[in-house]
């Protein structure tokens, strides 16, 4: 029996009105669901460690079910799908990538893939699917595709698969669609010497997918209440490394330099977490400026300014500290940008004020000095109009 590589596969299925068509009997949607069920059943028969998530897209993408290897839940989710509207394929790929990144941050993450099932048509005003394919390529995520319907000159599904190194299947009837499902189900046979398992060891990749720590003011009321219940009324603002509210490095309160793991909400001083990371043996993690949460092992990003400041402090420690007059604050300006003009990395950055990503139709401002993005409504909450990343005082436009 062949050894298999466990995979996390996002099934991204088109549920727009064009899937009603009956050129595949009884219709495209029913044939697609049958093929997905065959894929899931045959993969689980060979490999119970793989998992599937389902995203449906019409006017908007929607996560139907998160990653699971429980076949009954996946089948129920597929049977609940309804058809309507047009095809937002680009947005669906963006949501699929976000889902995969969340899984890659976990310990012992599985190899990621996205399977798109569609006739290849998409709403022209939506995010370009090829832009999302290039983002997936940068994250080493393969996009496989099942193409239904007549071929066109702009074969976006094949181009997406070619960009990411995935498999492209053209299916002209229900039988070939089932055959494609069978081929993909058995495609995860482990090949020794391949590079798939090494992608999570790459420092640049680790830095790109690591999660930002949460500040005290970033906690939602539900998260804060949960922490109060778990840790006691006054304990949720104490570092779990030094067991103190006061930062031992900067002498500041937890409200200033305290952060939380976004996965388990364990509290840390950012300087304590950085020192703990420096004590670990994994050179790739240190090189990437990342660390795994000591409690849940979620992949976290250490702020660059913290690690650099502590290195600088250790270099100048023997010298006598001299006070110098404070420099005049640097002044820059904030430019208004449109969502469609954001590049693939910016599109999935989050606003440092509210920590939510940017979406179509929102007003967005960019710091001209460090290129940090803000929602326009969040920009008004900046203290003295100072950029949260580089500290310059910003003037609009």
Domain count within the chain = 3
- Asked if the structure places residue 322 within a domain, the reply is no
Residues facing residue 143 across a β-bridge: 114
Whether residues 123 and 22 share a domain: the answer is yes
Q: Is the pLDDT of residue 366 over 50?
A: yes
pLDDT band at 183 (very low <50, low <70, confident <90, very high): very high
Q: What is the pLDDT of residues 71-87, one digit of tens each?
A: 999 999 999 999 998 98
Q: Which of 67-71, 74-78, 216-220, 322-326 has the lowest mean pLDDT?
A: 322-326
* Amino acid 195: pLDDT: 45
**Domain with 388 in it: what CATH number?**
3.30.60
CATH of the domain at 265: 3.30.40.10
pLDDT level of residue 322 (50, 70, 90 thresholds): very low
User: In this structure, is residue 30 part of a structural domain?
Assistant: yes
Which pLDDT score is estimated for 130? 93
Torsion of CA 96, 101, 103, 106, to 10 degrees: 180
- Name the residue with higher pLDDT: 297 or 232: 297
Q: How confident is the model at residue 13 (pLDDT cuts 50, 70, 90)?
A: very high
Percent of the chain with pLDDT over 70: 84
- For residues 146 and 62, state if they share a domain: yes
Q: Is the pLDDT at 335 greater than 80, yes or no? A: yes
> Does one domain contain both 283 and 358?
no
> What's the pLDDT band for 310 if we cut at 50, 70, 90?
low
| CATH number of the domain bearing residue 79 | 3.40.50.410
Average pLDDT over the chain, rounded to an integer: 83
Quick one: pLDDT band at residue 223, thresholds 50, 70, 90? low
Same domain, 239 and 381: no
Quick one: pLDDT at residue 302? 86
Residue 336 buriedness (CB in 10 A; 0-12 / 13-18 / 19+):
exposed
Q: Same domain, yes or no, for 296 and 342?
A: no
Domain assignment of residue 24, yes or no: yes
Whether residue 150 sits in one domain with residue 13? yes
Mean pLDDT calculated for residue range 118-140: 86
Please check whether residues 255 and 216 belong to one and the same domain. Answer: yes
**Which of 171, 196, 221 is the endpoint of a domain?**
196
pLDDT of residue 397: 62
Q: Tell me the pTM.
A: 0.68
Q: Is 179 exposed, middle or buried (0-12, 13-18, 19+ CB in 10 A)?
A: middle
The pair of structure tokens assigned to 315 is 């270099």
pLDDT at residue 328 in the model: 42
Inside any domain, residue 223: yes
Question: What is the helix (H) or strand (E) element at residue 365, kind and residue range?
Answer: strand 364-367
Domain of 301 in residue numbering reads as 203-316
- Same domain, yes or no: 115 and 190: yes
130 and 14 together in one domain: yes
Do 53 and 169 belong to one domain?
yes
What is the structure's pLDDT at 288? 81
Q: Is pLDDT of 194 > 60? A: no
Q: Does residue 14 sit in the same domain as residue 126?
A: yes
Judge whether 324 lies within some domain. Answer: no
Asked if residue 325 is part of any domain, the answer here is no
Vertex 319, ends 317 and 321: CA angle to 5°? Answer: 90
CB 197, CB 7: distance < 8 Å: no
């Amino acid at each position: 029996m062949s050894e298999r590589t466990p995979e996390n596969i996002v099934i991204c299925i088109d549920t727009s009105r064009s899937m009603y068509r009956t050129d595949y009997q009884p219709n495209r949607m029913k044939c697609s669901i049958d093929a997905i069920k065959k894929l899931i059943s045959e993969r689980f028969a060979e490999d119970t460690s793989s998992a599937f998530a389902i995203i449906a897209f019409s006017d908007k993408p929607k996560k139907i079910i998160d990653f699971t290897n429980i076949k009954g839940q996946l089948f129920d989710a597929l049977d609940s799908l309804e058809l309507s509207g047009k095809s937002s394929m680009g947005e669906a790929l963006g949501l699929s990538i976000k889902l995969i990144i969340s899984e890659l941050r976990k310990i012992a993450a599985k190899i990621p893939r996205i399977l798109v099932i569609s006739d290849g048509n998409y709403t022209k005003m939506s995010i370009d699917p090829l832009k999302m394919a290039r983002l997936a390529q940068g994250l080493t995520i393969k996009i496989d595709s099942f193409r239904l319907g007549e071929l066109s000159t702009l074969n976006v599904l094949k181009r997406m698969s070619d960009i990411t190194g995935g498999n492209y299947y053209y299916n002209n009837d229900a039988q070939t669609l089932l055959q494609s499902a069978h081929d993909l189900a058995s495609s995860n046979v482990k090949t020794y010497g391949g590079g798939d398992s090494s992608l999570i060891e790459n420092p640049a990749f680790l830095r790109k997918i690591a999660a930002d720590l949460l500040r005290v003011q970033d906690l939602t009321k539900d998260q804060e209440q949960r922490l109060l219940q778990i840790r006691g009324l006054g304990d949720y603002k104490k570092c779990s490394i030094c067991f103190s509210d006061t930062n031992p490095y900067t002498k500041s309160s937890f409200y200033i330099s305290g952060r939380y793991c976004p996965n388990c909400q364990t509290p840390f001083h950012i300087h304590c977490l950085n020192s703990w990371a420096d004590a670990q043996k994994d050179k790739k993690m240190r090189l990437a400026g990342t660390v795994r949460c000591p409690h849940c092992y979620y992949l976290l990003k250490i702020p660059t300014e913290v690690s650099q400041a502590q290195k600088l402090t250790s270099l100048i420690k023997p010298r006598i500290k001299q006070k110098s007059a404070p420099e005049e604050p640097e002044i820059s300006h904030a430019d208004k940008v449109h969502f469609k003009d954001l590049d693939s990395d910016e599109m999935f950055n989050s606003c440092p004020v509210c920590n939510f990503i940017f979406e179509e139709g929102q007003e967005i401002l960019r710091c001209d000095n460090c290129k940090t993005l803000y929602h326009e409504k969040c920009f008004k909450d900046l203290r003295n109009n100072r950029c949260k990343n580089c500290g310059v005082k910003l003037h609009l436009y």
